[in-house]
């Protein structure tokens, strides 16, 4: 006779920016949750009651659910056997040529194969290449395991996770009625709004979501370059055209479009369409080309070879401590070919994550020119006599390029 499950949920890869907020909120809603992650530092941090990264409101909630014995973390894969529901927070990676690896999730699940049990619900949570849900279904069937598989993509934004996990509708998909019902019951503890799709529809819905954002950022950045090349102020134009005009309200400002998802998911969608996705590839050229455009324009205005350039902010977005896929590092690499010296600072980013970062005061003192690469709010009111290049229009009076 099969032993009963000791926990409600185990989250594979649960120590990161997607899995940990979900684990904490599920525990806060009354579930018994185990975070399983191979990262020793993240697991130790969670068990000691410390968030391994910044997420507003999460620290207090983590302390509460630990005190109530509703959350624990481990590096032991045997934890997978302890819960009725296994949430997998492992996405489809892309290689150095931007090709997706559809089998990565199956390989990761294979490392835990001995610990899965009949009767479990396996929920894929991160972005996957279309067809991966079906691969996972076959993986379990081929190994003789009777589990329900669901794909329920996350759609949260960093720093809004605790708010959006509850406020946003949840997309639920499964090949079986039992899988759909069980996944819906789980996520109804977070939100009353459930949207039903077939697995392949849900896979594309997630990719379309991130790709659409990436394309919008590319349109804004292209408009910025067009206006800037004619000596015109893009943000002034954008503000005017969007004023009391709802159809233009979603036009973003210019800036680096980066992070671990947008480019990756756009390239996954390109691969899915047999690389017949000119719009996606064009968006990549614009967004990835913005640091090069910026340096090219600065070379026309300054003798960069005689200047020390300071980069303000290396996180991939304003207010974040996350440097994954940040274009600030591409900007730094390009500048190193032309500037006398390149310095970088970001006091939100841990020195353990990037030991090359300097204190803000040092960068301000040593730099002849500053560039805001991550629009942290504190840079809006920074007091310095050094010229600041601000493509984000954070300061409203930055140096034009």
pLDDT confidence of residue 3: 67
pLDDT confidence of residue 398: 64
In this structure, the answer to whether residues 180 and 292 fall within a common structural domain is no
Euclidean distance between CA atoms 118 and 144, whole angstroms: 9
Tell me if 371 is assigned to some domain.
yes
End residue of a domain, out of 180, 199, 218: 199
Tell me if 2 is assigned to some domain.
no
In this structure, the answer to whether residues 220 and 182 fall within a common structural domain is no
Number of domains in the chain: 2
Alpha helices in 75-198 (DSSP H): 104-110, 132-142, 161-167, 177-187
In this structure, the answer to whether residues 256 and 191 fall within a common structural domain is no
Alpha helices in 197-277 (DSSP H): 199-229, 234-242, 262-272
In this structure, the answer to whether residues 320 and 235 fall within a common structural domain is yes
In this structure, the answer to whether residues 241 and 318 fall within a common structural domain is yes
Tell me if 398 is assigned to some domain.
no
In this structure, the answer to whether residues 187 and 286 fall within a common structural domain is no
In this structure, the answer to whether residues 224 and 112 fall within a common structural domain is no
Question: In this structure, are residues 262 and 288 in contact, taking their beta carbons and an 8 Å threshold?
Answer: no
pLDDT per residue rounded down to tens, the chain (401 residues)? 456 898 999 999 999 999 999 999 999 999 999 999 999 999 999 999 999 999 999 999 999 999 999 999 999 999 999 999 999 998 778 777 778 888 889 998 999 999 999 999 999 999 899 999 999 999 999 999 999 999 999 999 889 999 999 999 999 999 999 999 999 999 999 999 999 999 999 999 999 999 999 999 999 999 999 999 999 999 999 999 999 999 999 999 999 999 889 999 999 999 999 999 999 999 999 999 999 999 999 999 999 999 999 999 999 999 999 999 999 999 999 999 999 999 999 999 998 899 999 999 999 999 999 999 999 999 999 999 999 999 999 998 766 78
Euclidean distance between CA atoms 140 and 124, whole angstroms: 13
Tell me if 1 is assigned to some domain.
no
Decide: residue 247, CB within 10 A, 0-12 exposed, 13-18 middle, 19+ buried: exposed
In this structure, the answer to whether residues 127 and 242 fall within a common structural domain is no
Tell me if 399 is assigned to some domain.
no
Each residue of 198-249: pLDDT tens digit? Answer: 999 999 999 999 999 999 999 999 999 999 999 999 999 999 999 999 999 9
pLDDT confidence of residue 266: 95
Residue 148: CATH number of its domain:
3.40.50.720
In this structure, the answer to whether residues 103 and 155 fall within a common structural domain is yes
In this structure, the answer to whether residues 303 and 227 fall within a common structural domain is yes
Domain interval for residue 139? 7-199
For 367, residues 6+ apart whose C-beta sits below 8 A from its C-beta are 308, 309, 310, 343, 386
Each residue of 281-339: pLDDT tens digit? Answer: 999 999 999 999 999 999 999 999 999 999 999 999 999 999 999 999 999 999 999 99
pLDDT confidence of residue 103: 85
Residues in the chain: 401
pLDDT confidence of residue 30: 96
């Amino acid at each position: 006779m099969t032993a009963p499950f000791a926990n409600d949920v185990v989250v594979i890869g649960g120590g990161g920016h997607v899995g940990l907020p979900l684990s904490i909120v599920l525990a806060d809603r009354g579930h018994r949750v185990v975070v399983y992650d191979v990262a020793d530092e993240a697991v130790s941090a969670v068990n000691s009651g410390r968030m391994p990264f910044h997420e507003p409101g999460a620290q207090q909630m983590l302390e509460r659910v630990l005190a109530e014995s509703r959350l624990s973390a481990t590096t032991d894969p045997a934890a997978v056997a302890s819960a009725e529901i296994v949430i997998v927070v492992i996405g489809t990676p892309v290689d150095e040529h931007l090709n997706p690896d559809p089998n990565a999730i199956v390989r990761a699940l294979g490392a835990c194969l001995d610990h899965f049990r009949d009767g479990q619900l396996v929920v894929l949570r991160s972005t996957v290449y279309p067809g991966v849900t079906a691969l996972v279904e076959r993986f379990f069937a081929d190994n003789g395991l009777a589990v329900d598989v669901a794909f329920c993509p996350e759609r949260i934004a960093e720093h809004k996770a605790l708010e959006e996990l509850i406020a946003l509708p949840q997309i639920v998909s499964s090949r079986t009625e039992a899988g759909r019902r069980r996944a819906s019951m789980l996520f109804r503890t977070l939100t009353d709004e459930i949207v039903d799709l077939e697995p392949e529809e849900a896979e594309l819905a997630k990719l379309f979501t991130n790709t659409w954002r990436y394309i919008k950022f590319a349109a804004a950045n292209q408009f910025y370059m067009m206006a800037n090349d004619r000596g015109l102020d893009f943000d002034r134009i954008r503000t005017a055209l969007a004023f009391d005009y709802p159809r233009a309200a979603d036009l973003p400002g210019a800036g680096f479009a980066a992070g671990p998802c947008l480019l990756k998911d756009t390239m996954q969608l390109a691969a899915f369409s047999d690389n017949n996705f000119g719009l996606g590839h064009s968006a990549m050229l614009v967004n990835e080309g913005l640091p090069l455009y910026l340096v090219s324009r600065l070379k026309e205005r300054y003798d960069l070879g005689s200047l020390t350039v300071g980069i303000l902010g290396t996180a991939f977005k304003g207010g974040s401590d996350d440097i994954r896929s940040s274009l600030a590092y591409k900007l730094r690499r390009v500048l190193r070919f032309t500037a006398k010296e390149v310095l970088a600072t970001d006091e939100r980013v841990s020195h353990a994550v990037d030991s090359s970062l300097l204190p803000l005061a040092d960068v301000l003192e040593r730099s002849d020119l500053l560039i805001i690469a991550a629009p942290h709010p504190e840079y809006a009111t920074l007091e310095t006599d050094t010229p600041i290049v601000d493509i984000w229009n954070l300061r409203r009076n930055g140096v034009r390029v």
